[in-house]
Structure 1
């Protein structure tokens, strides 16, 4: 239990620090959008590229992890589709529920995995992101545009422009080609990677909007239960049935137990979804995840 708390409390301390820095308007409102862009387009891709370029990519456990991650994501989306048919949600809200149930905060996930499993765990998580990020983007766009058929451009553009996906693909290609990171490149990537997760977590805190929590308690709690309880339970059951090794099983459960990412708000607003509800979903899930992630990580001790 102490290892779990040791890994989690610094992560959530940075999120809380980011929120209070934003409230105090330090270092200024102009800082946060720029910091988020710097991290999203430069620092975080460097972390993903470096870890994937150094990882063993041919293990059977990695293939099983990727397959189970895709399966869990598809199962979750099928459950949401059934609910949408029953409740007849419009796209503006269905897209919010889909992202609230399936989208995950990569900064938070990699920070926890790195604290618990180090570089080998980060490499496994980065490889899983290569598979999950494109799929969750497609599901999100399809849901937000429910009621009219999304264009190919709407589906493909968020994927081909996503720097995280591009960095993962480039890292995997460098790994498989046998490319050596010499002449100080490895040192540079390590330094960029070291700054990414702390800055990302501060930005997560700065993006929280507690005022949006007023009203709509029922959909907020339902989405939180789906994301923070049901989806990790599906992931744990799949890992147990497949006999996944303990580290891979833990990483799978962690990523399906993560709260929704702040980037969901941007996509929701861009495609005309209910952005206020999306902000409330992100804020509530991030707050609750401090407790639910602790419970899931502790329960993993009894997994094997």
Structure 2
């Protein structure tokens, strides 16, 4: 019943998003617009509000972030080893590598809200605030290396730095932490405004993700997609579990960490692959496969 209560609503909205797109009720223009609204406005506001209105923790987030970042780095190195071991082409390498460790922030927040409530949101927000910059550096570096455009390294690094500094999710997390440390509180009218604004965030994000899923590239990239998905949904959670134990992370932070590790790969890998000359069909295939199979990995984590 716990799994049904926590995960069924998320996958129902994903299915609804796919159904609406199939029926023509939504289209590419709508999906792109909703993505922008969630990414640039609603989700950063939610992070700022949720983190800013919670009490500062006593250092638990440091251990959670350290264990999680170390797990991501290990899986990143394993992805580079897998590229050589399974003879993955340079055109596929960048998409494959980032698919092994990038995570879907929106599904993660929805799961955390459903299972852990307000107490888990702060930890998840702080964790993604630290993880997103590192993951972007790893992903872009690998994409550049395999893109065949090494001469434009300076330009790509400039693009990466600009993307990190202006990332709305990072800014929302940082602003929330700063506000929380100031021990100030939101006036009721501001609190109510944020509550109204952010109530649309998760439904809109999940419907958009569902609308972007498709099976087009899966049949041509089955083997590589499964390898990436295994690294993302099995290897990363296993390594993460032992690192969380090693860093003495327990309770709600431990549950947040395990949810983080078992999330499907981010839809952002498609956009980044397109920008830096990598295989977008593979990216699309892994997004689809990992999203479907994450029902199993997330169910296991919710149960334990």
Scaled by the length of structure 1, the TM-score of the pair is: 0.93
Residue of structure 2 in register with 1:16 after alignment: 15
Match of 2:269 among 260, 264, 272: 264
Q: Deviations over 1:209-262 (max 9, x none)?
A: 112211221101111111111101111111223331121111111111111111
Does structure 1 conserve the Cα–Cα contact (< 8 Å) formed by 2:2 and 2:302?
Answer: no
**Alpha-carbon deviation of 1:104?**
0.4
Scaled by the length of structure 2, the TM-score of the pair is: 0.93
**Alpha-carbon deviation of 1:195?**
1.0
Q: Deviations over 1:86-115 (max 9, x none)?
A: 556555322112221110001100100111
3-state SS in 2 of match to 1:280: helix
1:198 aligns with 2:197: no
Residue of structure 2 in register with 1:210 after alignment: 215
Residue of structure 2 in register with 1:226 after alignment: 231
Does structure 2 conserve the Cα–Cα contact (< 8 Å) formed by 1:50 and 1:189?
Answer: yes
With 238-247 and 213-222 compared, the bigger mean Cα shift is at 238-247
Aligned length: 298
Counterparts of 1:63 and 1:164, CA distance in 2? 19
Match of 1:283 among 284, 288, 302: 288
Residue of structure 2 in register with 1:55 after alignment: 54
Unaligned regions of 5+ residues in structure 2, if any? none
**Alpha-carbon deviation of 1:117?**
0.8
Q: Deviations over 1:176-195 (max 9, x none)?
A: 22333226111111111211
5 Å matches for 1:219-258?
A: 219-258=224-263
Residue of structure 2 in register with 1:122 after alignment: 121
1:297 aligns with 2:297: no
Match of 1:163 among 150, 164, 168: 168
Unaligned regions of 5+ residues in structure 1, if any? none
Q: Deviations over 1:144-192 (max 9, x none)?
A: 1115373331331221121111111111122222333226111111111
Counterparts of 1:14 and 1:81, CA distance in 2? 34
Structure 1 stretches of 4+ moved >6 Å: none
The CA RMSD over aligned residues, in Å, is 1.7
Residue of structure 2 in register with 1:70 after alignment: 69
**Alpha-carbon deviation of 1:17?**
0.4
